[in-house]
């Protein structure tokens, strides 16, 4: 098939690369000339394992190309994917201006039937707005052209997006058109050979499915974090509790890892947007609001533990930070717990020495050059001259540590582990004061 994708961000690049990789001809469109030039040269602006290899392979094969020429791109594909950003407005609702701009662009240039596919994460009712926008623009042109709008939400995890796209558990399409069903079956046929993963439903249900999925996963994270905070005060170990409840197949082990809060481009934004949608129709989304409130509070936990360990005086202290990205295998720092911690430390007059395998440049882009921030080339370099260590991201590179060297290097033997990477008894034997999340050794009790 000939496929056009508007947007060369995370979703657009993964979608375009994976569809080209199974033999479709794909054009990705963006308005950023520098980004398009770099992409056509095989330079990928985001870190996603395997993505750069797939993009370069399909560029060389001629199945994937990048352009700023919207008219050419609209002419090219039967399927016109909209995969642009929907950032949150100040009230938490999704900003649809970029989605609707693309809809107008398609309507301005189309000369024949098109299937417009909402791939961006959008609120319920967006397909109707896209349809109205296209119809209005066509009417202004005096053009009578058939088109359809469908919803095809993405279910990609950063760090595992290629696997999710290629071997995902479901492909959701919202439409009431047989013509669209046929086109989308053809599009996804290479990924649908062993079993039929396509789930067709009405458009509004498809739009809600995406938000409901992310809200459910965010709920599991906030739930286990709530139980972890109880465990810490009750003298229980949340890791034992996690194994105990995760063995129940009705609950499962996925997304019940306690930590310092979720971040990224999806969960915070989507939970807020769904709550805003609920308010707009007069419904009080109590559970969604609790999920968000727990997560905001959880991001403050690392700083509060650190502050108590130093009896409230962090001024002049140097804190080593392992992990900047919101999760491993990405350079994404959107809503990352590390940001809440660093900003609180700076407000308290402390310095930060940070290391992350991929997010160094992103951190530099966000915060610039500062006297109270050093970005280190190695994880152990971040420890040199530091008063304490805080772990924010569960990169594999942080899982194996010589605790005796750690004890000798840190000015104070304090380790705050926001991802529960180690066993408390091991660090205690090494002479380290180790404070994790919900491991039954309350910092308040330890300092009493």
Q: How many Cβ atoms are within 10 Å of 290's Cβ, its own excluded?
A: 14
- At a CB cut-off of 8 Å and minimum separation 6, what does 360 contact? 324, 354, 375
Each residue of 315-348: b (16+ CB within 10 Å) or e?
eebbbbbbbbbbbbbbbbbbbbbbbbbbebbbeb
C-alpha dist (Å) from residue 4 to 29, 42, 256, 351: 8, 19, 38, 47
Q: Is residue 28 flagged as an active site residue?
A: no
Computed from CA positions of residues 115, 119, 120, 123, in that sequence, does the dihedral angle turn out positive or negative? positive
Please check whether residue 119 is in contact with residue 15, taking contact to mean a CB–CB distance below 8 angstroms.
Answer: yes
Which runs of E-coded beta strand occur in 202-347?
318-322
Please check whether residue 273 is in contact with residue 93, taking contact to mean a CB–CB distance below 8 angstroms.
Answer: yes
C-alpha triplet 209, 241, 267: angle, nearest 5° = 25
Q: What string of H, E and C letters represents the secondary structure of 353-407?
A: EEECCCCHHHHHHHHCCCCCEEECCCCCHHHCCCCEEEECCCCHHHCCCCHHHHH
Please check whether residue 400 is in contact with residue 329, taking contact to mean a CB–CB distance below 8 angstroms.
Answer: no
Nearest partner of 43 among 21, 18, 13, judged by Cα:
13
Q: Which residue among 260, 266, 363, 392 is the active-site one?
A: 266
Any idea which residues carry the catalytic annotation?
266
């Amino acid at each position: 098939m000939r496929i056009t994708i508007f947007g060369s961000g995370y979703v657009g690049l993964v979608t375009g690369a994976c569809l080209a990789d199974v033999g479709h001809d794909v054009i990705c469109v963006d308005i950023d000339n520098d980004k398009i030039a770099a992409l056509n040269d095989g330079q990928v602006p985001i870190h996603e394992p395997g993505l750069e290899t797939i993009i370069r392979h399909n560029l060389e094969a001629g199945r994937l190309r990048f352009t700023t020429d919207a008219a050419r791109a609209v002419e090219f594909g039967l399927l016109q994917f909209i995969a642009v950003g929907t950032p949150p407005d100040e009230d938490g609702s999704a900003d649809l201006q970029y989605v609707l701009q693309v809809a107008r662009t398609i309507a301005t240039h189309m000369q024949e039937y098109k299937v417009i596919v909402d791939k961006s994460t959008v609120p319920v009712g967006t397909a109707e707005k896209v349809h109205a926008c296209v119809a209005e623009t066509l009417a202004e042109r005096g053009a009578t052209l058939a088109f359809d709008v469908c919803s095809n939400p993405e279910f990609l995890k950063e760090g595992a997006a290629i696997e999710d796209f290629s071997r995902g558990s479901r492909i959701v399409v919202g439409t009431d058109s047989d013509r669209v069903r046929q086109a989308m079956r053809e599009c996804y046929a290479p990924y649908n050979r062993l079993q039929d993963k396509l789930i067709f439903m009405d458009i509004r249900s498809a739009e809600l499915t995406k938000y409901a999925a992310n809200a459910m996963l965010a709920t599991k994270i906030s739930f286990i974090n709530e139980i972890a905070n109880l465990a810490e005060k009750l003298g229980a170990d949340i890791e034992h509790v996690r194994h105990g409840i995760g063995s129940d197949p009705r609950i499962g082990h996925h997304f019940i890892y306690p930590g310092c809060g979720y971040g990224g481009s999806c969960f915070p934004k989507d939970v807020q947007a769904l709550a805003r949608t609920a308010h707009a129709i007069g419904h009080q989304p109590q559970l969604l609001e609790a999920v968000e409130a727990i997560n905001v509070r959880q991001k403050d936990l690392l700083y509060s533990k650190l502050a108590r360990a130093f009896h409230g005086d962090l001024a002049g202290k140097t804190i080593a930070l392992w992990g900047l990205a919101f999760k491993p295998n990405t350079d994404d720092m959107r809503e990352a717990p590390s940001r809440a911690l660093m900003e609180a430390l700076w407000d308290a007059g402390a310095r930060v020495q940070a290391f992350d395998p991929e997010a160094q440049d992103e951190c530099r882009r966000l915060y610039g050059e500062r006297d109270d921030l050093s970005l280190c080339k190695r994880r152990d370099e971040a420890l040199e001259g530091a008063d304490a260590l805080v772990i924010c991201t569960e990169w594999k590179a942080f899982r194996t540590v010589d605790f005796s060297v750690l004890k000798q290097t840190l000015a104070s033997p304090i380790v705050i582990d926001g991802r529960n990477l180690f066993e408390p008894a091991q660090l205690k034997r090494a002479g380290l004061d180790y404070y994790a999340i919900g491991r039954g050794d309350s910092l308040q009790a330890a300092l009493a």
